[in-house]
Amino acid sequence: MLKSCKYCGRIHDSKFDCGKKPKRQKPSNDINKFRWSRKWTEKREWIKQRDKYLCQLAIRENPPRYIYNKLEVHHIIPIEENWDKRLDDDNLITLSEEYHEKAERGEISREYLLSIAKKQEANND
C-alpha cells in the first residue's frame, strides 16, 4: 500500500525503507526492566504532576496550546546514553505524543528541553 512517508516526504510502499527513518537501538534487558518498574511508574507520575499534566512545549508556543491528553514523560538525555540520569527530575519533561516524537528525532534541541525542565524544578521548590 502506498503511503506518504513522514520521514522523507515521498510516497512509497509502507514496507519500503527509505533510509530516512531514524534507527533505534534495541534496548537492553535492564532498560526494559526499568520501564516496567515501580520506581519509573512513580517518577513518571510525579513529573506529570510537577508539570501540571500539560505538554511543556505546547504551553510555550505563541499563542499557548493546552495539551493535556496523550502525555508522555521524555528522557532528555536518553537512558542508553546515561543510565545514571534515568530518574533525575531535571532530565525529565512532560510532552504530548507529537512533541515527544519530535524530541526523539532531534527536531527539538536538548538544551532547550533541559532549560524547561530546570525551570519546572525551580518553580516546584
Q: How confident is the model at residue 1 (pLDDT cuts 50, 70, 90)?
A: confident
pLDDT tens readout for residues 48-65 = 999 999 999 999 999 999
Domain residue limits, the chain: 22-124
Residue 9's pLDDT is 82
Look up the pTM and report it: 0.75
120, 93 Cβ separation under 8 angstroms = yes
What pLDDT is stored for residue 100 in this prediction? 96
**Nearest Cα residue to 116 out of 40, 24, 43, 50:** 50
Average pLDDT over residues 94-114: 96
**How many Å is the maximal CA-CA distance in the chain?**
52
Name the grid cell of 16: 519500503
Q: Cα(56)–Cα(29) distance, rounded to whole angstroms?
A: 30
Between CA 74 and CA 119 the distance in angstroms is 16
pLDDT at residue 28, as a whole number: 65
Distances (CA, A) of 12 to 20, 44, 98, 102, 121: 13, 37, 23, 22, 44
What is the tens place of the pLDDT at every residue in 9-55?
888 887 888 887 776 655 568 888 999 999 999 999 999 999 999 99
CA distance linking residue 6 with residue 111, whole number of Å = 25
